[in-house]
Amino acid sequence: METSFLAAVNVSILAMAVIFTVLTVLIFTIQGLVKLIPYQAPPPAPSRRQTASSAGDDQDNHAAVITAVLAMHMGKSPNEFRIVNISQR
């Protein structure tokens, strides 16, 4: 019984030594990579907010496109009617 206990202790010590050796190698590898390839922060993403003037321009563009499509569909001149309200759903 004494030999099996000593064998278990030896295996445990060997396993812990292997684990800590691998962890130490990983730590030094990561530190070396950090020094060789420094981290560069990605550029900030452009904000997607629209100002009031650009939102108005977009609505004007949408109204112009809708007017042109309706005029072509109805076979009339775009000057014959006017789109007053556009609501988004």
pLDDT above 70: residue 54: no
Mean pLDDT of 38-65: 74
Structural domains in the chain (count): 2
In a domain, 5, yes or no: yes
Structural domain containing residue 5: 1-37
Q: How confident is the model at residue 51 (pLDDT cuts 50, 70, 90)?
A: low
In a domain, 44, yes or no: no
pLDDT above 70: residue 21: yes
In a domain, 81, yes or no: yes
Mean pLDDT of the chain, nearest integer: 84
In a domain, 43, yes or no: no
In a domain, 51, yes or no: no
In a domain, 42, yes or no: no
Strands (E), the chain: none
Q: How confident is the model at residue 15 (pLDDT cuts 50, 70, 90)?
A: very high
In a domain, 48, yes or no: no
**Cα(22)–Cα(20) distance, integer angstroms:** 5
Residue 1 is predicted with a pLDDT of 59
pTM equals 0.43
In a domain, 53, yes or no: no
**Cα(30)–Cα(39) distance, integer angstroms:** 12
